[in-house]
Structure 1
Amino acid sequence: MKRILNRIKTLEENPRPPGCEKLTGQEKYSLRQGRYRIVYSIQHNELTVWVVRIGHRKDIYR
């Protein structure tokens, strides 16, 4: 859990870090942290990153 929180914290400085992927047909991005995925969206006009979902890679996109 600590690694996931640290990974989210890094989004403050760089909302599109190396390894992030834009989800097809959506304005959301996915970031890997071990077996887990962090799905988030970027609100450019507000300079905000919203974490939409965190879950195991086998369940996150369902």
Structure 2
Amino acid sequence: MKLNISRSAQKDLDRIENEVVLRISTKIYQLPQNPYPAGSQKLGGNKGYRIRISKYRVIYTIDKAGKLITITKVGHRKEVYR
């Protein structure tokens, strides 16, 4: 599978501390090998999936036909679902 990080998700990452971004990036770049890692959860409706990294969440969608994972949002758990 290919990995795509949306512009808004990239901006979200730019706002987060470097130490945390390193941990988040490690998880993100493992998604093409395992799109459903332990602890991932399907979100309600058609919003995709989420993975937890400490107090942060990564929201992503999976296009099985196009074999593409798109990171749509990254943020603190209190703000990412708004």
Question: Is residue 40 of structure 2 the alignment partner of residue 20 of structure 1?
Answer: yes
Between 1 and 2, higher relative CO (CA 8 Å, sep ≥ 6) is seen in 2
- Bigger proportion of residues as helix: 2
Cα RMSD over matched residues?
0.8
- Find the partner of 2:72 among 42, 49, 52: 52
Q: Which runs of 5+ in 1 are unaligned?
A: none
Equivalent positions of 1:30-45 (< 5 A) are 30-45=50-65
TM-score scaled to structure 2, two decimals? 0.73
TM-score scaled to structure 1, two decimals? 0.95
Aligned length in residues: 62
Percent identity of equivalent pairs? 37
- Bigger proportion of residues as strand: 1
| CA deviation string 1:13-56 (max 9, x = no partner) | 01011100000112400100111000000010111100000000
Structure number, greater radius of gyration: 2
- Where has structure 1 moved over 6 Å in runs of 4 or more? none
